[in-house]
Amino acid sequence: MDLIAFAQHVNKLKAIKRAGWVEKGIADPESVADHSFSLALLVMVMAPRYNLDQLKCLQMALIHDLSEAIVGDIIIMRNGISQGGENDKAAAELTAIKSIFSSPGEALYEDIFIEYQRGESAEAKLVKELDKLDMTLMAREYEDVSGINLEEFLIFYWQRAGRRSSSQTLSGFDFTKSDGIESLPSDSDHRPSPQSPTKKDDIFGEEDVIFYWQG
């Protein structure tokens, strides 16, 4: 590996602001590197609780957005609705990862990235779930500080997390099941929708994260 070239890719993530926040007009939003660091910390403490491969989870979290150093942060979802281009985005990101980890002996990282993209393994499911949680926490923080309506990010979290309330997303979730988050039963009595907006405090309250830290 060319360490200098790799470090330059990593450093670019510090300057790339997350596109969703920029598009919403958030002043000085987090960078891609900020997000990856936060996600890695969440993964570090949660992987052992599910008896998952902690090292693989950490590697996955740290490189899951590394491709954005080359392709940028591409938005494909707005208001919970796909804008199309998912396959093109995935292909571009994989090509970028292959170019970053192009030296002999670095195939491991490409394999881990592909595993994350597919989202089928227990480790990939956990990282993806915590990725959504981190986004939701930031949406709430930015909304509180800026007054900008970021409800679509909260709704997006519920829709993509198996349509369960945030307090139930990880609680009792068997990450070893092959059917992933879609195996979660629905919570239709409390599920918000873009047509029926719900106050952010009804979607995600302080008590909703308590279960993460219960032994």
Instruction: Check: CB of residue 56 under 8 Å from CB of residue 127.
Output: no
Instruction: Check: CB of residue 101 under 8 Å from CB of residue 116.
Output: no
Cα-only R_g, the chain: 17
Q: To which residue do tokens 């281009």 refer?
A: 85
| Residue 133 token pair | 């949680």
pLDDT digits (tens, 9 = 90+) for 37-92: 999 999 999 999 999 999 999 999 999 999 999 998 887 666 656 666 788 889 99
pTM of the model: 0.73
Start-to-end CA span in the chain (Å):
41
**Domain count within the chain:** 1
pLDDT at 182: 36
Q: Check residues 113 and 80 and name the one with the higher pLDDT.
A: 113
pLDDT digits (tens, 9 = 90+) for 124-172: 999 999 998 899 899 989 999 999 988 878 765 555 555 444 444 444 4
pLDDT digits (tens, 9 = 90+) for 195-207: 333 443 333 333 3
Instruction: Check: CB of residue 86 under 8 Å from CB of residue 76.
Output: yes
**Which CATH number covers residue 163?**
1.10.3210.10
pLDDT (mean) for 207-211: 34
**Which residue range forms the structural domain that includes residue 99?**
3-213
Amino acid at site 1: M
